[in-house]
Structure formats: structure tokens, C-alpha cells
Amino acid sequence: MGNIARHIAIIMDGNGRWAQERGLKRVKGHEKGAETVRFITTFASNHPEIEVLTLYAFSTENWKRPKMEIDFLMRLLSRYLKNETKTYKKYQIRFETIGDLSRFSPSLQKQIAAIKDETKNFNRLTQVLALNYGSQDEISRAAEALCKERKKISVETLGKRLESSRFGPVDILIRTGGDQRLSNFLLWQSAYAELFFSPILWPDFSPEDLETIISEFKRRTRRFGGI
């Protein structure tokens, strides 16, 4: 039976390089990357074990990119959500987010809230988009809230306060695109995650690649600090 792949989290890296390799503008890579998001999400919704798929769509550091690329990513996200509402319904996918949405435009915030509401009772899969998300920001905001309330800070109290704790610990953390770093993604929830670094650029990442990773995950021994 082996390990259960309940929660999979992915750092979707390599869109820019995928486009540059083809002599295309970087944003074309993000467009293709959005299609991969759809393929991987529908695959996950049909997988018997996967309950949560968390995708790093926009980090707290991504605001450093050129304004034109940021604007494109915002429009792409809005278009994706509009087009994919039918996919969420067809595959019974609940849509959720982590991250501070207050920096997004009021219309995007409204759209996000509406889709969360429309899909809240679906339970085949929860797709969590990390939007303006950073783990250090998440952890410090939770600690600040506890301090303000003069509450004790412990692994338990702090852990419970984290926005991402609603979705539970990560079993498999994947980064595509060849780099081997965590880039401030789900640091707390990945304390005992199995890490996978794939050289494949995100637009080329396929459900078969995910299946191969899950098979390898099943063969690994997870000790959670025990022996």
C-alpha cells in the first residue's frame, strides 16, 4: 500500500525558459503553463489518493517582475478562472487560495471570492492557488496575531493559526524547471514532505510525469523523525 499521496504541492517553474527556447515572449510560456495547470488539476481530481493540490501561482517576491509581466499574469489568472469554472464543476473541484489577496484588484478579488463560493461543496479535489503567498509572511502574520492576543506561541498554536493549515501537511513537494530550492513555499507544511526536483519545464510537465513521481514516492520510506 505504501505512502498516501494526499497533499501534493508544486512550484511551477520554467515558463519563461520554455518560451525563450522557442524564440517566444516569456508571457507565452505562462499561457502554456496555465494549460498545464488544467491538465494536472483534472488528473489529480481523478486520482484516488490526492485530496489537495496546492500550486504556487504568484509569490510575494513576484511583484519584483516587470509591470507588463505582472499585469499579464493577473489577466491570465482572471481568464483562467473564468474559463475553468466549468472544469471545477465537471470534476467536482473546490477552489481555494492561500496568500494575501488584498494587493490584487477589487475585481479579481471579487471573482476569486465568487468561485470559492460556487465550488465550496465540491469534494473530489481541493485546488489551492498560492497567490501573493510567501511562507515567511504567513508565519510572521500568524505569530503577530497570537502576540496581539497575548497568546502563547507553540508549535501547536502557531501551526493552527497558519492559513495553510486548513489543507494539512504536504506529502509530496515538486519543483519543476531544474532548480533545487523551496523559494519560500509552504515551509511549515512541508516539514516532512518528500521532495522531488524535476528538470522538466512546467509547460512540458505532464500527468505521466506526476504519476512517475507518485510511484517513486510510494517506494520511499517516511520516518517522520522516528526510526
Q: How far is CA 34 from CA 31, 46, 108, 145, in A?
A: 5, 19, 17, 35
Strands, E assignment, 125-214 = 125-133, 172-175, 194-197
Which C-beta is closer to ligand FPP: that of 41 or that of 190? 41
Q: How far apart are CA 157 and CA 177, in angstroms?
A: 35
Binding mask 72-101 for ligand FPP (x = CB under 6 A): ----xx--x---------------------
Which C-beta is closer to ligand FPP: that of 32 or that of 161? 32
The one catalytic residue in 62, 100, 137, 184 is: 62
- How long a stretch of residues is the chain? 227
Which residue from 9, 34, 170, 214 is in contact with ligand FPP, where contact means CB under 6 A? Answer: 34
Task: Write down the least CB distance from residue 176 to ligand FPP, Å.
Answer: 9
Contact status: 15 vs ligand FPP (CB under 6 A): yes
Contact status: 129 vs ligand FPP (CB under 6 A): yes
Q: Which residue has the cell 502576540?
A: 147
User: Residue 127 in 3-state DSSP?
Assistant: strand
Report angle CA 177, 181, 187 to the nearest 5 degrees: 125
Binding mask 158-187 for ligand FPP (x = CB under 6 A): -------------------x----------
Q: Which residue has the cell 491570465?
A: 76
Task: Give residues in contact with ligand FPP (CB under 6 A).
Answer: 12-17, 30, 33-34, 37, 57, 62, 76-77, 80, 129, 177, 202
